[in-house]
Amino acid sequence: MTVPGGSDRGAGTILTFAMMPIVLIGIVLIWVFVDLSMLRAKAAGAADLAALAGAAYVLDDPHRACTVAADVAGRNDADLVMCTADGLDLVVEVSIPSTGIAARFAEWVGVSLPPVRQGARAGM
């Protein structure tokens, strides 16, 4: 059977091969976005827990409150970057290094991702 105006045999295969890199790049970019979003949520959770744990000691001994907050942050794979007592509140900031597919992709591109930082406040 002949098709008027020429033959379309193999056009779908060529279109599929042409679209595959675009689809794969889209999947990788979505994966990177999800990875960074999960890392941000992990840092926010670590900051919240550290602030809540340290807030119980903020009236008695602000230094101990920060020590407890640092311990809790460490147990959640985060580093305590900042800890201050603000009246009855404890204000903390934690940092988690960028890892996972996002960091590997950035390294492949030739850049490095900064650590993800999140803060929290808790008080009596």
Specify if 1 maps to a domain. no
Specify if 65 maps to a domain. yes
Token couple for 68: 């407890």
pLDDT digits (tens, 9 = 90+) for 36-72: 899 999 999 999 999 999 999 998 899 999 999 999 9
Number of domains in the chain: 1
Token couple for 49: 């827990």
pLDDT category at 5 given cuts 50, 70, 90 is: low
Specify if 97 maps to a domain. yes
The residues with which 80 forms a beta bridge, in sequence order, are: 94
**Domain boundaries, position 75:** 11-123
Specify if 2 maps to a domain. no
pLDDT digits (tens, 9 = 90+) for 65-86: 999 999 999 999 999 999 999 8
